[in-house]
Amino acid sequence: MARWAPDSRGRLERAAWELFEANGFAATTVPEIAARAGLTTRTFFRHFADKREVLFVDGAMAAYAQQVIQDAPAELAPIEIVRHLLRRAAAEQFTGRDHVRRVRAIVATDPTLRERELGKRHELSGVTEAGLIARGADEVSARLLADLTVTVMYLAVDRWLGSPETGPELAAFVDEVLDAHAELHGDSGPDPAAGDPVR
């Protein structure tokens, strides 16, 4: 069986989740996951590099971001490509609060998962930076905007998860955070009449 079993990826994911939530992430092994899914360990490793990967629905986020940036309308300036990407991702990659909450709850229990998550953020930032440079951004802007993309994504998701189920969709929080970002320098500079004590 196994090899061409329908939806083997989905079955592995469901089995892994059930075991993670029942026994904890650390205590769950890949053979257990495979057995529960009625598949082989080898099949597991065709779909996931290791058991941590099962958790990162945004594992494909870097590839997704790369594609969206590449396909973004030609007239968009770099900052607007970022907004475009974040709004697309909000609509297409984060479809329900529940799943994101479950992932976060498990990641919080395990230091190796938290490290992996930081690695994922870094990867997303790197891909975004390269994509923005390919779209004509200068090096400094590309790096600033790439890290901003990751910051806004995580911050908007935090705020979305903390809001009522019937509240606004994630895209609204993306806009809120990006708009706050646009104001960072604008409304908070020191009073010019007072001189600038820093520089």
**Residue 2 near residue 8 (C-beta atoms within 8 A):** yes
Query: For tokens 């592995």, what's the residue?
Result: 12
Q: Confirm or reject binding of residue 108 to a second copy (CB under 8 A).
A: no
Q: Which one, 127 or 177, has the nearer CB to a second copy?
A: 177
Q: Confirm or reject binding of residue 194 to a second copy (CB under 8 A).
A: yes
Q: How far is CA 161 from CA 6, 97, 182, 198, in A?
A: 33, 6, 23, 38
Query: For tokens 């440079």, what's the residue?
Result: 133
DSSP 52-105: GGGT-GGGGHHHHHHHHHHHS-TT--HHHHHHHHHHHHHHHT---HHHHHHHHH
Q: How far is the CB of 184 from a second copy (least distance, A)?
A: 5
Q: How far is CA 62 from CA 46, 56, 93, 121, in A?
A: 20, 11, 12, 9
Query: For tokens 């390919």, what's the residue?
Result: 134
Q: Confirm or reject binding of residue 9 to a second copy (CB under 8 A).
A: no
Query: Which among 8, 7, 6 has a CA at the least distance from the CA of 39?
Result: 8
Of the candidates 12, 113, 145, 153, which one interacts with a second copy according to CB under 8 A?
A: 145
Name residues contacting a second copy, limited to 158-187 (CB under 8 A): 159, 175-177, 180-182, 184-185
Of the candidates 6, 96, 164, 189, which one interacts with a second copy according to CB under 8 A?
A: 189
Q: Which one, 15 or 82, has the nearer CB to a second copy?
A: 82
Instruction: Please give the Cα distance from 174 to 161 (Å, whole number).
Output: 13
Name residues contacting a second copy, limited to 16-45 (CB under 8 A): none
Q: Name residue 172's amino acid.
A: A
Name residues contacting a second copy, limited to 72-101 (CB under 8 A): 73, 75-80, 83-84, 87
Of the candidates 35, 144, 161, 172, which one interacts with a second copy according to CB under 8 A?
A: 144
Tokens at residue 185, please?
Answer: 């320098």
Contact region with a second copy (CB under 8 A), list: 12-20, 27-35, 102-110, 113-121: 113-121
List contacts with a second copy (CB under 8 A).
Answer: 73, 75-80, 83-84, 87, 115, 118-119, 121-122, 140-141, 143-145, 147-148, 150-152, 155, 159, 175-177, 180-182, 184-185, 188-191, 194, 196-199
